[in-house]
Structure 1
Amino acid sequence: MNCNSSSLLEPLNLTTIDDDCKTLIFDFFEWEDLLSLADTSKKLYAAACGVYRRKYGKGRLHIISEIQRGSFVQPDVDVDDRGKALKLLRNFGHLVSHLFFSTYKGRYEPVEFVFLIENYLAEYCSKTLKHLELTHPPMILFKEIRNPFINIENIDLHGYQAPICEFPFSSVFPNLNLLQIWFSCFSEEFTPICIPQMKKLSLFGGRIHQRSELNVNRATNFEENEIKEMLRLNPQLEELKLNLYSIKDIIFQDLSLPNLKRLSPTMHFNSNIKNADRYHFENVIDFNLPFHKITNIPFTFSQLERFEYSCFEDKTIKPYVLEFISENKYLKSVILTNVWDGINSLFPILTELNHIEEVSVETTLYEIPSSTWNLIPELFSQIQSLKKFTLWISRIRNFSEKIKNATQNRNPRCVWSKDGGKFGSDLKLTWLRS
């Protein structure tokens, strides 16, 4: 070996070392450092892209201001600096799959910056972006697009006031599956549209605070007509979520959604509706009714398999809820939350269901009646189809004693965990058929 070789004295150069060495070194860098490397040379760019893909592989990017931080999907990269945001899209935009861009019509960001972000999205992210969330009406993204976003499946529009009829969803997002719109208010310019490829629709808000008091009734009717027309124009929908407190359930009257499989409505329900006039859905299998103060459930189903209901307003399992469960003989799963009382009244109804497989009850009681602890194991001998019963308990007393008693049975066997749980409860007990 020639120790005097000049090659031994040459300084190391990142551009000349092999790719494996580059990767080992770059693994210590954060995304800001990778951005700097990517701009240095083509060789370093390729290595930086590889490391970025591995470290931030889910591709969830937030470009946000001081608002809404932490409110949405946890990002892999969170960028506040405008220059870095543009630089990241330019270098790693082809690796971004989920983008949340927050600004309210330039109130927090200059219009020029919004314009550049949308241009960069169109240029660098059109082939890889799958989920897009915006808190502002797009300036050019939907109107002057050069390349369609062929992989986008989900679009969330927050605080929305612009007329969606102006946006060519079908041509720009040919594979759109889910559209979620969070209205800050309804606009007189809102015009329902048909989006043939859309399978899931979620609408939230629908307040009328921008209209005069004298115009409230007309405005409410206006909103109901718009929503109903939006649904009528999209009979292909398979999933529908409506969280519209100012809208009445009359929008379902004479409405045909033959492909609908999942329904979750939050709105004003008619408490005087007759059984014969209830809204019927032939193919819905999943029905979620959250946070309602009602006296009946104005829906009927032919093939319902899953029912989720919140007793938040009533605190107890009301007779109309039990009646609804009883009349849906094909139910496989029943989930009841915010239950304060009446758990035992559920058990006789469950024995009427020949297909029930899973039951979940979340309660805020300090004390669970001893009869409840005994009835749960008995259900498994009475209902042969039952596979799982979950009890979520908040603020339970005599914790150790309850666990000891519950876990004595071997069939069904009971397992437990003490943590936040699905509903923020302190204790989760699950009975499983052996």
Structure 2
Amino acid sequence: MSDQNEKLSRKRRKNERDELRKMKREAKRLKAKATEEVTEASIPTIKITDLNNDCLEVIFNHLEFNDLFNVADSNKLLTSAAGRVYWKKYRKMPVDLYTCYTTDECFKIRAHCIWVYDRTAALKFLRYFGHIITKLRITCFSIKNPYLAELHRYVFEYCSETLIQISFCYMIACAFFPIEKSFPNVESVSFRYCMVDENLSQLNKWFPNVRRLTFGYFVKLDNRKCIEKYFPHLQSLSIERFCPQNQFGFEEQNAMEALRLNPNLQHLKLKNFDTKFLRKASEYMKRVESLEITIRRSDINHRGSSIRLEKVKRLVIHGDRDQHIDFSTLPFTFGCVHEVIYIKQK
């Protein structure tokens, strides 16, 4: 009987010890859980969109250009900070919207210029960073009108207040659309190898403060009188034709009227206009200080009165490749010329 009671006593004590160990393990587990919950509650959860622009700018400053664009495209709340980084790192770079085709490569930075290749990316780029762009070139080959209309609308909406220089290159297939608003700060406008319809008009209203105007080698020009405007701040004018008989570019009477309406020009470039035209136009070139022209053999042998260029200080002459010019035979007289440069045509 005593042995049986001893066994029961040992069994009871063992059960008590097991129960005690179990209670200790449970208490340890509950304590660890409580500590973990307290730790998680003490550390706040922060999203990147919760950071202010100063913090975001420090982070985004380490991104490459493509990544910076992707950040601006990912969330509207990040666009402002991305724009601040763009202003800091890229605002001085000209932008070329070389949107000729769709490609996997959207952007490339080369020759200190930002090249935008993809059409969809170009529209987004203007929406995110257009208000920072100061120099813009639009290059398009055979692009359908609907896209060009959208591109022009974005340029007008996002870049009109900040642009100081704009160029149009290889714009063909009636690429220009009526401009609804002016570009008050644009000082330089350039057209090169463009096919332009009648919509190219009222340039002096679209660009009221333009100082430099360049027309280079039009493929087609339906509205030749677009140059016959008064530009109150115009200082430099460049008109280039493929040849004197070019049927697509400006005619002599258009250039003559442009010179008559803008007598305060200081820099003038007339490519492939003969000396006969220059002789007639010289009365409107009284203040020209830098002149760039084309001289052919027929111009040298042409008889007539000398062309007096009173204020020209710098003269650049383009001639035939195999042509040698005796400057004493040139049909010009000068008042204060300092430099004469001769360039042979390739």
Give the equivalent residue in structure 2 for 1:202.
238
Secondary structure of 1:263's partner? strand
Amino acid across the alignment from 2:53? D
Amino acid across the alignment from 2:228? I
Secondary structure of 2:49's partner? coil
The correspondence for 1:87, drawn from 124, 127, 131, is 124
The 5-angstrom pairing of residues 381-392 of structure 1 reads: none
Deviation track 1:203-248 (CA, whole Å, cap 9, x = no partner) reads 223347886xxxxxxx99x93343333323332211111222xx32
CA shift in 2, pair 1:158/1:173, >3 Å: same
Amino acid across the alignment from 1:243? K
- What CA distance in whole angstroms lies between the structure 2 residues aligned with 1:287 and 1:88? 42
Q: Report whether the alignment pairs 1:126 with 2:160.
A: yes
Give the equivalent residue in structure 1 for 2:278.
252
The correspondence for 2:113, drawn from 70, 73, 76, is 76
Q: Report whether the alignment pairs 1:58 with 2:58.
A: no
- What CA distance in whole angstroms lies between the structure 2 residues aligned with 1:280 and 1:184? 30
CA shift in 2, pair 1:17/1:9, >3 Å: same
- What CA distance in whole angstroms lies between the structure 1 residues aligned with 2:316 and 2:42? 71
Give the equivalent residue in structure 2 for 1:306.
339
Q: Give aligned pairs, total.
A: 290
Q: TM-score, normalised by structure 1?
A: 0.59
The correspondence for 1:279, drawn from 287, 296, 307, is 307
Structure 1 residue ranges without an equivalent (≥5): 68-72, 212-218, 314-434
Q: What's the offset of the Cα at 1:183?
A: 2.0
Select the structure of larger CA radius of gyration: 2
Q: What's the offset of the Cα at 1:189?
A: 4.9
Secondary structure of 2:340's partner? strand
The correspondence for 2:299, drawn from 251, 255, 270, is 270
The correspondence for 1:113, drawn from 147, 155, 166, is 147
Deviation track 1:31-84 (CA, whole Å, cap 9, x = no partner) reads 3322332244454222101111112121411111459xxxxx945321111111
Counterpart contact for 1:224–1:248, Cα < 8 Å = no
Counterpart contact for 1:63–1:79, Cα < 8 Å = yes
Q: Report whether the alignment pairs 1:157 with 2:191.
A: yes
- What CA distance in whole angstroms lies between the structure 2 residues aligned with 1:251 and 1:209? 13
- What CA distance in whole angstroms lies between the structure 1 residues aligned with 2:251 and 2:58? 58
Deviation track 1:70-120 (CA, whole Å, cap 9, x = no partner) reads xxx94532111111100010111001111111114xx1x221111111000
Q: What's the offset of the Cα at 1:200?
A: 0.8
Amino acid across the alignment from 1:92? F
Deviation track 1:127-184 (CA, whole Å, cap 9, x = no partner) reads 011111112267555x331x31011111111113436794111211111111111124
Q: Which has the higher helix share?
A: 2
CA shift in 2, pair 1:254/1:111, >3 Å: closer
- What CA distance in whole angstroms lies between the structure 1 residues aligned with 2:199 and 2:222? 12
Structure 2 residue ranges without an equivalent (≥5): 1-34, 102-109
- Bigger relative CO (Cα 8 Å, ≥ 6 apart): 2
Give the equivalent residue in structure 2 for 1:297.
330
Counterpart contact for 1:186–1:208, Cα < 8 Å = no
Deviation track 1:362-392 (CA, whole Å, cap 9, x = no partner) reads xxxxxxxxxxxxxxxxxxxxxxxxxxxxxxx
Amino acid across the alignment from 2:115? D
Counterpart contact for 1:93–1:124, Cα < 8 Å = yes
Secondary structure of 1:288's partner? strand
Amino acid across the alignment from 2:254? E
Counterpart contact for 1:165–1:190, Cα < 8 Å = no
- What CA distance in whole angstroms lies between the structure 2 residues aligned with 1:116 and 1:129? 18
Q: What's the offset of the Cα at 1:277?
A: 1.7
Counterpart contact for 1:161–1:183, Cα < 8 Å = no
The 5-angstrom pairing of residues 1-400 of structure 1 reads: 4-6=38-40, 9-65=43-99, 74=111, 76-104=113-141, 107=142, 109-135=143-169, 136=171, 139=175, 141=177, 143-145=178-180, 147-162=181-196, 166-185=200-219, 187=221, 189-191=223-225, 192-197=227-232, 198-207=234-243, 223-244=251-272, 247-255=273-281, 256=283, 257-268=285-296, 270-273=299-302, 277-292=305-320, 293=323, 294-295=325-326, 296-310=329-343, 312=344
Secondary structure of 1:179's partner? strand
Give the equivalent residue in structure 2 for 1:324.
none
Secondary structure of 1:229's partner? helix
